[in-house]
Structure 1
Amino acid sequence: MEKTKIVIYQLFVRLFGNRNTNPIVNGNKEENGSGKFSDISHLALKEIKQLGINHIWYTGIIEHAITEGYPDLAIPNGNPLVIKGKAGSPYAIKDYYDVNPDLANNVEERMQEFEALIQRTHENDLKVIIDFVPNHLSREYHSDKKPEGVEDFGATDDTDITFTPSNNFYYLPNQELQLAAAIQNRFPDTHYHEYPAKATGNDLFTAYPKLNDWYETIKLNYGVDYQNENASHFHPTPNTWIKMKDILLYWARKGVDGFRCDMAEMVPVEFWEWVIPEVKQEFPEILFIAEVYNPSLYDSYIHKGKFDYLYDKVGLYDTLRGIIQGEQSAKEITNCWQSLNGLDPYMLRFLENHDEQRITSRFFAGDAWKALPGMTVSVCLHQGPAMLYFGQEVGEAALGASGFSGDNGRTTIFDYWNVPEHQKWMNNGKFDGDSLSQDQKELRKAYADILHLAKQPAIAKGAFYDVMWVNSDKKLFNFDKAYAFLRHCEVQKLLIVCNFDSQSQEVHLKIPSHALEIMNIPRPISITLQNLQNSLAVNTDSEQLTEEGVKLKLKTYESLVLEIII
Structure 2
Amino acid sequence: MKGKFIVYQMLLRVFANAHSVNRPGGSLQENGTGKFKDITVSVLEELRRLNVTHVWYTGVIRHATAGGTGVKGGAGSPFAITDYYDVNPYLASRENCRMKEFEAMIARTLDSGLTPIIDFVPNHVSPDYHSAVADFNEQNYCPGRIHDWDWSDTVKLNYGCRDTWEKMRDILLFWAGKGVGGFRCDMVELVPVEFWQWCIASVKRKYPKLIFIGEAYQPENYPALFDVGGFDYLYDKTGFYDTLKRIVRGEAPASSLTAEWQKQGKYQDRMLKFLENHDEDRISSPDFAGNPFRGLAALFVSLYFNTAPFMLYFGQELGEGPGKTSIFDFCSLPRMRSWLRGLRAGDAGKFLDHEASALRDIYMEFMSKTSEPAIRRGDTFDLEYANPRSEYFNPDRHFVFLRRYGRKIFLCAANFSDEKTVIRVNIPKHAFEYFGIDETEYLNSTTPVEVAIAPDAGTLLRLQN
State the TM-score, normalizing by the size of structure 1: 0.80
CA-atom RMSD in angstroms: 1.4
Pairing 1:454–2:370 present: yes
Give yes or no for the alignment of 1:481 onto 2:418. Answer: no
Distance 2:14 2:243 in 1: 29
Correspondence 1:531-542 to 2 at 5 A: 541-542=442-443
C-alpha distance after superposition, 1:482-526 (max 9, x if no partner): 101111122422210011110111211011111112223213x14
**What is the deviation of 1:428?**
6.3
AA aligned to 1:562 is L
1:340 is paired with a residue whose SS is: helix
Q: Given the alignment, which residue of 136, 143, 148 partners 1:153? A: 136
SS in 1 for 2:254: coil
Give the equivalent residue in structure 1 for 2:60: 61
Q: Higher helix fraction: Structure 1 or Structure 2?
A: 2
Cα distance change of structure 1 residues 342 and 474 upon mapping to structure 2, 3 Å threshold = farther
Q: CA deviation at 1:316?
A: 0.5
2:91 to 71, 92, 103: 103
Q: Aligned partners of 1:551, 1:262: CA distance in 2, in Å? A: 45
Unmatched tracts of structure 2, length 5 or more? none
Q: SS in structure 1 opposite 2:362?
A: helix
Q: Does the alignment pair 1:272 with 2:260?
A: no
Determine helix, strand or coil for the equivalent of 2:414: strand
Q: Is the 8 A contact 2:56 2:116 kept in 1?
A: yes
Is 1:413 matched up with 2:312? no
- 1:534 alignment counterpart: none
Unaligned 5+ runs, structure 1: 68-77, 158-166, 173-197, 203-212, 224-236, 399-408, 527-540
**How many percent identity over aligned positions?**
43
Judge which range, 381-390 or 482-491, deviates more: 482-491
The one-letter code matched in structure 1 to 2:156 is K
Residue in 2 that maps onto 1:557:
456
1:395-419 Cα shifts (integer Å, max 9, x gaps): 0014xxxxxxxxxx31000001111
- Aligned residues of 1:427 and 1:433 also touching (Cα < 8 A): no
For 1:551 and 1:384, locate their aligned partners in 2 and report how far apart those are by CA, in whole Å.
Answer: 28
CA contact (8 A) 2:410 2:461 kept: yes
* Rounded Cα–Cα distance in structure 2 between residues aligned with 1:502 and 1:169: 53
Deviations 1:79-100 (A, max 9, x none): 3x51111200000000000001
Question: Which of 501, 509, 513 is the aligned partner of 2:429?
Answer: 513
Equivalent of 1:138, from 116, 120, 126?
Answer: 126
1:303-344 residue CA offsets vs partner (Å, 9 max, x unmatched):
111100000001100111111111111111111101112210
Cα shift readout 1:423-479 (whole Å, capped 9, x = no counterpart): 121116526121112232121011111112221111111111101000013333111
Q: 1:548 to 1:429 in 2, by over 3 A?
A: closer
Q: Structure 2 residue aligned with 1:422, among 336, 349, 354?
A: 336
1:246-285 map, 5 Å: 246-285=170-209
1:170 correspondence with 2:71: no
1:354 to 259, 274, 278: 278
Q: Distance in 2 between matches of 1:440 and 1:518?
A: 41
Residue in 2 that maps onto 1:239? 163
- The alignment covers a number of residue pairs equal to 463
Q: Go from structure 1 to structure 2 and tell me whether the alpha carbon gap of 1:344 and 1:336 turns closer, same or farther (over 3 Å shift).
A: same
Give the secondary structure class of the aligned counterpart of 1:396: coil
One-letter code of the match for 1:35?
G
Whichever residue aligns with residue 158 of structure 2, its letter is N
Tell me the secondary structure at the aligned position of residue 45 of structure 2: helix
User: Is the contact made by 1:426 and 1:433 (CA closer than 8 Å) also made in structure 2?
Assistant: no
- Higher mean Cα deviation, 553-562 or 252-261? 553-562
Quote the Cα distance in structure 2 between the aligned partners of 1:4 and 1:498.
21
Alpha-carbon contact 1:497-1:561 (below 8 Å) kept: yes
**What residue in structure 2 maps to residue 183 of structure 1?**
none
Is structure 2 residue 36 aligned with structure 1 residue 37? yes
Q: Which of the numbers 306, 325, 339 marks the counterpart of 2:230? A: 306
Aligned counterpart for 1:391 among listed residues 315, 339, 349: 315
Amino acid aligned to 2:9: Q
**For 2:174 and 2:390, how far apart are their aligned partners in 1?**
56
Does structure 1 residue 344 correspond to structure 2 residue 268? yes
